[in-house]
Amino acid sequence: MAQQYQVLARKWRPQQFDEVVGQDHVATTLKNAIEQNRLAHAYLFVGPRGIGKTSIARIFAKALNCVKGPTATPCDKCDNCKEIANGNSLDVLEIDGASNNGVEQVRELRDTCRYTPARAKFKIYIIDEVHMLTTQAFNALLKTLEEPPPHVKFIFATTDPQKVLPTILSRCQRFDLRRIPAVLLVKHLKKIAKDEQITIDDEALTAIARGAEGGMRDAESTLDQLIAFCGDKIAEKDVLSVFGLVAHEKIAALTDAIIDGATNVALKTLKELDEVGKDLQRLLADLLDHYRNLLVLTIGGAGAELVDVPDTELELLKRQAGRIDADAVLRVIDALAGAEGRLRYALSKRIYFEIALVRAIKTREMVGLDGVLKKLNELKGQLGSAPVGAASPPRPAPVTRASNAAPTNHPPVTRSNDDTPTNQPPASLTEAWTYAVEHLGKVSPLAKTYLVGAKPLSHQAGILTIGFDPEFAERRDFVDTARNREILQAKLKEKLHADVSLKFELSASVAPAPAPKPAATTAAAAERPAKVTDTGDFKNDPLIKKALEIFKGQIVEVRK
């Protein structure tokens, strides 16, 4: 009878702590605990799928129950080690938490754990996906988990620790397993391929590692599938065609197009990838990951150590990082990340992706406020070193009164910051109120809208009473705030030349508030301080001219 084929994920399952890839922090801690005889009664292994949680649990069980044990290096030759490795040990029970999640199964476990092991030193319970246990099952396990018999050890594994009760977490030693770096995945896959006599190029190994997303089991299963598809020779194009991945050079091309602002190139590249059936959702995720690496490098410092890519990709990233700053990368990431969550629900993924690319290119070209200020300061420094005559154009000579003009008895007029003459007689209540409301509208347009129709009723003992129609009583509650009062009272004082306190009340004599008219057509527009619209002098200022040239702007309005 022919020997049954064993998949690579099982064939290459680690049997010793030293064979575990990418989880040195966990393996070292467990080995030290065994050597120092500091063994806990409950352990919790946390991490995503396929990174070695159950494998480490089995190795730990062998280390405890080996005939030489407890030992950090189980022999793998004794009956206990062989039975644990094959999954048929009477003293090491592997339980699926998803299918044995009821309180009855936990009660049965609690009753059986009182009995001593059949052959080994410890009775070990490995419960996978422990978060699937019900709350009642967890509660039934609490007392046994806190004070188990001396011969019992619990090892839990989960991909979702948030669903495990805090009372369970507090009774376990927790180990967080990490996603395996792509460099280590490639190195391990190369070792497997050599042992299996498979010819595979480095680009194909990198593509497999990228698709596995840090999971060793996924990487090994992918390699197993490719061997069945391609035979003993595997190239990168085979990996890309089988799993719908995009070659890294295409991701680099999209990145270059965004950096260079080449919208047509970006859209053409996306069109080609979509027509050959590439997964656009995965492409966007890979593009975001590429920009994440780019961001790390543009920040500087020890960024290269935080980028988990092969050396050839690292050199490409460094070249691209020299052509873009960190602020621009952040804006591109914001544009792409905003599209990632909504792309899966879009009816036309390509159109939505195209919009995201155009938006990313536009945001890339934007200049942040810090950049504007920095550029203006640089211009100011450059102009400051220029000759004084060139720095400021000649201004028109001030107009003086002729010496033979008839003298006047009026005192000289001084102006406040709002260009309002301070020696004018007090204005009427209606005029002062309209003026105050207009100024409030500059700060809070909504408050101004709610004050349309409100009218002054009386002004006695320094208190100005403002009436609201009872039909619009809710407007009074909105407007009557300390901030609005402060602004209104300050502007009323300018017109009435006296301190004023406001009082808002409902009055049937006030007509319902009409719809607000455009500011240019209201009578209050005449009360506004005059705006300087003659921008000729400002346009001749060298600093402003240079700023307009750089930022392609124009002067719309100039206010004193």
| 70 and 103 inside one domain | yes
| 161 and 187 inside one domain | no
pLDDT above 70 for 408 = no
pLDDT of residue 43: 95
pLDDT of residue 96: 87
Pairing between β-strand 42-46 and β-strand 173-176 as defined by DSSP bridges: parallel
Q: What is the mean pLDDT of the chain?
A: 80
Domain that holds residue 148: 8-176
Q: In terms of pLDDT, which residue wins out, 405 or 461?
A: 461
| 60 and 119 inside one domain | yes
pLDDT of residue 108: 86
| 318 and 278 inside one domain | yes
Burial 53-77 (b: 16+ CB within 10 A, else e): bbbbbbbbbbbbbbeebbebbbeee
pLDDT of residue 38: 92
Q: What is the pLDDT of residues 504-549, one digit of tens each?
A: 887 766 655 444 444 444 444 444 444 444 445 656 677 777 777 7
pLDDT of residue 169: 92
pLDDT above 80 for 6 = yes
Domains contained in the chain, number: 4
To which residue do tokens 């050199």 refer? 315
Mean pLDDT of 211-222: 89
User: For the CA atoms of the chain, what is the radius of gyration?
Assistant: 38
| 42 and 68 inside one domain | yes
State the pTM of this model.
Answer: 0.59
Mean pLDDT of 355-372: 78
pLDDT above 90 for 436 = no
In a domain, 539, yes or no: no
In a domain, 131, yes or no: yes
Domain boundary among 365, 381, 414: 365
Percent of the chain surpassing pLDDT 90: 25
| 138 and 32 inside one domain | yes
| 29 and 142 inside one domain | yes
In a domain, 206, yes or no: yes
> Considering only 103-112, 163-172, 367-376, 454-463, which range has the smallest mean pLDDT?
367-376
| 39 and 166 inside one domain | yes
pLDDT above 70 for 36 = yes
Domain boundary among 122, 147, 176: 176
Domain with 326 in it: what CATH number? Answer: 1.20.272.10
pLDDT above 90 for 433 = no
Mean pLDDT of 54-58: 93
In a domain, 227, yes or no: yes
Alpha carbon distance 409, 404 (integer Å): 15
pLDDT of residue 400: 41
Which range, 178-187, 415-424, 465-474, is most confident? 178-187
In a domain, 403, yes or no: no
| 52 and 168 inside one domain | yes
**Residue 276 — pLDDT band, cuts 50, 70, 90?**
confident
CB 116 within 8 A of CB 123: yes
In a domain, 543, yes or no: no
CA–CA distances in Å: residue 34 to residues 28, 173, 177: 10, 14, 19
pLDDT above 70 for 258 = yes
CB 221 within 8 A of CB 212: no
Domain with 222 in it: what CATH number? Answer: 1.10.8.60
Q: What is the pLDDT of residues 142-180, one digit of tens each?
A: 888 888 899 999 999 999 999 999 999 999 999 999 999
CB 97 within 8 A of CB 132: yes
Q: What is the pLDDT of residues 306-345, one digit of tens each?
A: 777 777 778 888 888 888 888 888 889 988 888 887 888 8
pLDDT above 80 for 383 = no
In a domain, 420, yes or no: no
| 487 and 351 inside one domain | no
**Residue 439 — pLDDT band, cuts 50, 70, 90?**
confident
Q: In terms of pLDDT, which residue wins out, 354 or 536?
A: 354
CB 289 within 8 A of CB 307: no
Domain with 50 in it: what CATH number? Answer: 3.40.50.300
Q: In terms of pLDDT, which residue wins out, 506 or 265?
A: 265
Residue type, 499: D
| 155 and 217 inside one domain | no
pLDDT above 70 for 495 = yes
pLDDT of residue 100: 77
Residue type, 174: R
To which residue do tokens 């050597």 refer? 35
Helix axes 79-86, 53-65, angle to 10 degrees: 160
Domain boundary among 176, 205, 222: 176
Mean pLDDT of 106-110: 86
In a domain, 423, yes or no: no
Mean pLDDT of 123-148: 89
CB 250 within 8 A of CB 238: no
**Residue 19 — pLDDT band, cuts 50, 70, 90?**
very high
| 219 and 303 inside one domain | no
DSSP state of 177: P
